Amino acid sequence: MTIDKTALVTGANRGLGRSAAVALAARGARVVVTHRGDAAGAEKTAEQVRAAGGTAAVLRLDISDVSSFAPFTAELGGQLERWGASRLDILVNNAGVGVFGPLETVTTDDFDTVMGTNVRGTFFLIQSLAPLLAQGGHIINVSTSLTRHTSPATSVYSASKAAVEALGRTLAAELGPRGIRVNSIAPGPTATDFNGGAMRDDAGMRRVLAGQTALGRVGQPEEIGDAIAALAAEGLHWATAQRVEVSGGALL
């Protein structure tokens, strides 16, 4: 990656978002860290970004609240100006929610929460930030390996991420004339606090999941962050409308 890029990572107060922010900073990016309400977590990420040699700013953003996107975009523009930058180079759409349950237990509120956040929020945030994206910029949407294989009680979450992948492919065509790439990265089972930290803390679940991967273990958040930074690198500037799975070979 060329030094001095500007990046925004949504939901960067923990987990994969934090790892992506730190990995981008280690490769020369100035990173805007967003959070929905966990300011302390976001500040911890900012500290790690600075420790990695980067520059960080923390902004609040709730991607389920589309009405907040216009003022957020203005705030982001102001932050870029303070950095002496006119454009955003990298947008990582990591923030999202997961509500899990079998068919008979999913409520309309559950469905609307997942789709409203993961699909509606992601789409309209891209719409709002597109004018700030630099010529040759890059959008990376965080998906899941569950769009390729299946797991019980994940239907709505998986469907929301499949929709995000489809949005990404179409937006790659729409934004391509500006040199903007749009790709999806699809993590497999990873030891974060997502879904209550089950894949990090439940030893039995980790053993089962490890037995289902070619590499024989659950992934670490830093490995996903490194993959996101690698996908954003200049060496992959010809790749767009792609889905890159980083799952250790889950359920092949």
- Spatial distance between the Cα atoms of 147 and 154, rounded to a whole number of angstroms: 10
Least confident of 94-108, 164-178, 196-210, 229-243: 196-210
The pLDDT score that the predictor gives to residue 195 is 59
The pair phi, psi for residue 61, each rounded to 5°, is: -155, 125
For 161-176, the pLDDT digits (tens) are 999 999 999 999 999 9
How far CA 207 is from CA of 19, 100, 139, 195, 252, in Å, comes to 23, 21, 34, 17, 17
Bridge pairing between strands 243-246 and 29-35:
unpaired
**Annotated catalytic residue, options 69, 72, 100, 157:** 157
Look at residue 20 and tell me whether its pLDDT is greater than 70.
yes
The pLDDT score that the predictor gives to residue 3 is 61
The pLDDT score that the predictor gives to residue 1 is 43
Based on the residue annotation, tell me whether 102 is a catalytic residue of this protein. Answer: no
Confidence of residue 44 (pLDDT cuts 50, 70, 90): very high
Whole-model pTM? 0.96
The pLDDT score that the predictor gives to residue 192 is 77
Domains of the chain with bracketed CATH: 5-246 (3.40.50.720)
36 closest CA partner among 67, 72, 62, 10: 62
Confidence of residue 208 (pLDDT cuts 50, 70, 90): confident
